[in-house]
Amino acid sequence: MNGGSHSLIEVRDLTIGYGDHLVLERITFEVRRGEVFAILGASGSGKSTLLKHLIGLYQPMQGDVLISGASLVHAEGEARLRILRKFGVLYQGGALFGSLTTVENVRLPLDEFTDLSEVAKNLIALSKLRLVGLESAATKVPADLSGGMQKRAAIARAIVMDPCLLFLDEPSAGLDPITSAGLDALIRELARGLGITFVMVTHELASIYSVADRVVMLDPKIRGIVAEGAPSWLREHAPQPWVRQFLNREVA
């Protein structure tokens, strides 16, 4: 649904941390429209912290995050809301509301942000559930869904407002390999079919090789990006040995 080939996200000279503790210093990278982009790194390298800055939950110490050319760091009020509506977020646990059914969870953003009729909202919510293969679980509550189903329902909720960008925080965490592969297939399908750009933080190498077009690797020692490129290329040709070890899952 989105044309053009220029960058959708531009991270410029971003410095992030907590209090006096620096996590990442002056990092710069871009995410192109329509690609599946992964943020990789060892535990404690700042992947999740970076993601929280990309979605505007935290303010950086320095630098900027531009989404479709608009600064998320400096935007306020209505302008910030306009940027926030461009993307959806899948949190690690799904973050579905336990008191609502699956279809009510999915249609919640439609209830809050549109004037559509009940019929229209239900049709749209059900179509998103069908896209993620959960049409038969529409009336179930999250407690009755498995971990993988909860993640798929959360994706359905994240795409209900037709965002051009989806952020995924550890999408495969806690899932068995088959469910995880199913989720990867769904990400590929949504990226190709709907042209959604994905930015994911993950540890799962299998997922990265399966879906990611490009990755950045974070290194806690240099508090920055140590490598950037296609995952299969980096696995063979990355100049840093530990990047190759990481991507080949070898013991250092």
Partner 1 sequence: MAVEPPVDLSVRWNLSVRPDGAATLAFAGELDAVSTPVAWPNLEREFARTKVVSLEIDARQLAFCDSAGLALLYYISVGGMTPGATVTLIGLSPEFQHLFRSFSAEDFRALQKHPPTCSFFVEDVGAATWSWLSDLRQQVEFIGEVTLGVIRGLARPRLLRWKEILRVFEIAGVNALPIVSLLTFLVGMVIAFESAQPLAQLGAQVFVANLLGLTMTRELGPVMAAIMLAGRSGSAFAAELGTMKVNEEINALQTMGLSPVQFLVVQRVVAGILLTPVLTIYAMYAGLLGGIPVLLGLGFPLRMVLTQIQSSLHFGDLAEGLSKSVVFGGIVALVSCLRGLQTGEGPRAVGESTTRSVVSSILLIILADAIFAAVTYSLRK
Considering only 116, 181, 205, 206, the residue that binds partner 1 (CB under 8 A) is: 116
Residue 118, strand partner residues: none
CA–CA distance, 71 with 203 (Å, rounded to integer): 28
Q: Which is nearer to partner 1, 48 or 114 (CB)?
A: 114
**Nearest distance from C-beta of residue 8 to partner 1, angstroms:** 17
- By CB under 8 A, how many residues form the interface with partner 1? 30
Q: Which stretch binds partner 1 (CB under 8 A): 5-13, 51-59, 124-132, 180-188?
A: 124-132
Q: What is the DSSP string of 211-222?
A: H-SEEEEEETTT
**Nearest distance from C-beta of residue 112 to partner 1, angstroms:** 12
The answer to the question of residue 173 lying near partner 1 (CB under 8 A) is: no
Phi and psi at residue 120, to the nearest 5°: -60, -45
CA–CA distance, 209 with 173 (Å, rounded to integer): 16
**Nearest distance from C-beta of residue 117 to partner 1, angstroms:** 6
Q: Which stretch binds partner 1 (CB under 8 A): 21-29, 73-81, 116-124, 241-249?
A: 116-124
The answer to the question of residue 196 lying near partner 1 (CB under 8 A) is: no
Give start and end residues of each alpha helix (H) in 132-201: 147-158, 177-194
3-state class (DSSP) for residue 42: coil
Phi and psi at residue 28, to the nearest 5°: -135, 130
Q: Which is nearer to partner 1, 13 or 118 (CB)?
A: 118
Which amino acid is located at 135 in the chain?
E
The answer to the question of residue 6 lying near partner 1 (CB under 8 A) is: no
Q: Which is nearer to partner 1, 143 or 252 (CB)?
A: 143
Distances (CA, A) of 225 to 26, 58, 104, 123, 213: 9, 20, 40, 43, 17
The answer to the question of residue 158 lying near partner 1 (CB under 8 A) is: no
CA–CA distance, 238 with 215 (Å, rounded to integer): 12
The answer to the question of residue 123 lying near partner 1 (CB under 8 A) is: yes
**Nearest distance from C-beta of residue 158 to partner 1, angstroms:** 13
| Binding stretches for partner 1 (CB under 8 A) | 1, 98-99, 103, 113-117, 119-120, 122-124, 126-131, 135, 138-139, 143, 160-162, 193-195
